[in-house]
Structure 1
Amino acid sequence: MHFEWSTATTPQSSGEFSVQEAITKADTLIEAMGWIRRFRGKTTVIKLGGSVLDDDDALLHILLDVIFMETVGMKPVVIHGGGKAINRALAEANIEPKFIQGRRFTDDATLKIVRRVLAGELNAFLTEEIERLGGRAMNLSFDTTNVLFGEKLTLPSGEDLGAVGSVTRVDRSVIEGLLYTDQVPVIPSMCVGPDDEYYNVNADTAAMAVAQALGAEKLVFLSDVNGVRRDKDDPSTIIHSLNEHQARDLIDQGVIASGMIPKVEACLETLGRGVGKVHIIDGRLRHSLLLEIFTSQGVGTEIYKAPPE
């Protein structure tokens, strides 16, 4: 952040330096200071995926936010999916994507593309972008150091998803070692099985596993909606803060419905396993991460564990 100070004592004409503008910027920094002190040294797991990864402008500002967080002493960890990039690569290879109960069926041909795009190209790109923008990051993948281990996922229905897995173990020591040296770990949502087989993993559940393993202060889901809404079609009805009991009541009442139900239920499960708070925010909003963490009201929905009665 760069200010051009002037000896002037009154605002100048449009386009020139204004002391009042500088004071406003300083006030913003002072407001953020309390939050910075509160979260300094704390781990925040950030899940990137969906439309955010396909929006160059949104992605730029998210990565700048991640660099800012690391700069002021927070410890961000980035977990990413990459469904749209994978679909484009499958189309180029004339492979038709197939989904079972919302999860990508991953045969051998699909797995090769998922590994190349997700654990290779996209993971390297995100790491290099953070470095290019002035931050420090480390690509944690099959080609460098893998930190996610798991097993084949079996659906209750018995349907076979192919090479789709769930995370059973996270190598905390590698991630925490990078955080200790002020680097941002960048992790693709894939894992290695007990016999060195590779599995495609749902990015939300991978982020949950990492947040739980690290005992993260926060888990942030960057979505293409601004959070939980009383009216799902009206962004202005966003609910900024919910405890676990209120969230379950809203599910029972049908206020939280359809695709938001599994996301909120995943948030509640994560809270029960040692994560401090979970946030759902619109990653397309410029600097949404900083606005959510470093302002009093935030811009998304914060879900937290209710205090014991």
Structure 2
Amino acid sequence: MKLTPCDKAGVLIESLPYIKSFYNKRVVIKYGGNAMINSELQKSVIKDIVLMKFVGMNPIVVHGGGPEISEMMEKMGKEPRFIDGLRVTDEETMEITEMVLFGKINRQIVSLINQNGVKSIGLSGKDGSMIRARQRDVKLGLVGEVEEIDTTLIDTLTEKGYIPVISPIACDGHGGGFNINADEISGKLAAALGAKKLILITDVQGVMENPNDDTSIISHIKTDEITDYINRGIIQGGMIPKVKCCYDAVTNGVERAHIIDGRKPHSILLEIFTNEGIGTMITE
């Protein structure tokens, strides 16, 4: 159905309170899933992020890239190994991880944002010792968990009008690096930055009461309900770390966190600028 000029005006009017509410506010976006691979969805996400900047918001992007790391490892004759969903990372795997995340994926995202008329710059957590981590488990090798975040570099870049794009790699304080789960960095970073909102782009609609029923999405979860949902098996598997990331964010000052379906075109705009929103919202 083609929108009339009045319909288009109505859409803009509906978005006005949200533009006002988010003006000059920080929004951390974890960019992952199929929306990074499908070229049309990728264009949609980038345009959403650029529009956010043009209407006065300060988006900060953290990206994933696990499947591409595994693909590159296999091309180089190295078999990916995982323990409890975390990549076992020796020194060679760490080199491949940095090459793929920062040397390839980060550069692509930055280039696409720049092409759409907004200044962007790529970073990893090692730049300026921005994200410090400690080893998570000796069995996992160079896999870390966030210990400290220094927001000075991001503060400076956002003040100068840039959109920072961050690879999930941290420093160890001794010149080395750690592979970090991108969801974890997103939640910790949103809290450290005092972001108004955290958005996780995923390949699912959100938290589902019944994974086989598309109409069973849970639109709102409070932090004190999360344990019960996990115990009942509603939040399970790969959704657990995503919900934990949201929990960490909203219990440390972030107003709202959202798990949204990146397979839907313009899912970010639908969440931020419409009354209905999409996905699952997590609040205190």
Shorter chain as denominator, the TM-score bin is over 0.9
Aligned residues: 284
Structure 2 equivalent of residue 102 of structure 1: 85
Q: Distance in 1 between matches of 2:41 and 2:58?
A: 21
Checking the alignment, whether the CA contact within 8 Å between 1:140 and 1:147 is kept in structure 2 is: no
Q: Percent identity?
A: 36
Alpha-carbon separation, structure 1, partners of 2:127 and 2:84 = 32
Assess, with a 3 A threshold, how the Cα gap between structure 1 residues 276 and 163 changes in structure 2: closer, same or farther: same
Residue segments in structure 2 that go unaligned for 5+ positions in a row: none
Q: What SS does the corresponding residue of 1:160 show, helix, strand or coil? A: helix
What are the ranges of 5 or more consecutive residues in structure 1 without an aligned counterpart?
A: 1-13
Could you list the per-position Cα deviations for residues 3-41 of structure 1 after superposition, in whole angstroms to 9, with x for gaps in the alignment?
xxxxxxxxxxx9xxx8x6111111100100011101111
Provide the residue aligned with 1:121 in structure 2: 104
Distance across 1 between alignment mates of 2:4 and 2:227: 44
Does the 8 A contact of 2:257 with 2:282 survive in 1? yes
Structure 1 match to 2:159: 180
CA distance in 1, matches of 2:93, 2:243: 29
Instruction: After superposition, give the CA deviation of every residue in 1:169-224 in whole Å (9 maximum; x if it has no partner).
Output: 22211101111122110000001111110111111111112111101111111010
What amino acid does structure 2 have at the position aligned with 1:213?
A
Question: Which of residues 194, 197, 203 in structure 2 aligns to 1:215?
Answer: 194
Partner of 1:66: 49
* Distance across 1 between alignment mates of 2:207 and 2:126: 38
Distance (Å, rounded) in 2 between the aligned partners of 1:191 and 1:143: 5
The equivalent of 2:169 in structure 1 is 190
Which secondary structure does the structure 1 equivalent of 2:215 belong to? helix
Computing the radius of gyration from Cα coordinates, the structure with the larger value is 1
Q: Give runs of aligned pairs for residues 132-143 of structure 1, distance below 5 A.
A: 132-141=115-124
Could you say which residue in structure 2 is the equivalent of 1:162? 141
Over residues 87-126 of structure 1, what are the superposed CA-to-partner deviations in whole Å (9 max), with x where a residue is unaligned?
Answer: 1111110110000111001111111111111122111111
Greater CA deviation, 232-241 or 123-132? 232-241
User: What are the within-5 Å matches in structure 2 for residues 244-263 of structure 1?
Assistant: 244-263=223-242
CA shift at 1:146, angstroms?
5.4
Contact 2:188 2:248 in 1 (8 A): no
Q: 1:284 aligns with which of 247, 251, 263?
A: 263
Could you tell me which of 208, 217, 220 is aligned with 1:229? Answer: 208
Match of 1:111 in 2: 94
Residue in 1 that maps onto 2:23: 40
Q: Does 1:153 align with 2:132?
A: no
Shift in Å at residue 145 of structure 1?
A: 5.2
- Counterpart of 1:171 (choices 145, 150, 157) is 150
Aligned partner letter, 1:271: V
Secondary structure in 2 matching 1:236: coil
Q: Structure 1 pair 258/117, CA: closer, same or farther in 2 (3 Å)? A: closer
Q: Could you tell me the TM-score, scaled by structure 1's length?
A: 0.87
Return the alpha-carbon distance in structure 1 between the equivalents of residues 279 and 114 of structure 2.
28
Structure 1: which amino acid aligns with 2:171? V
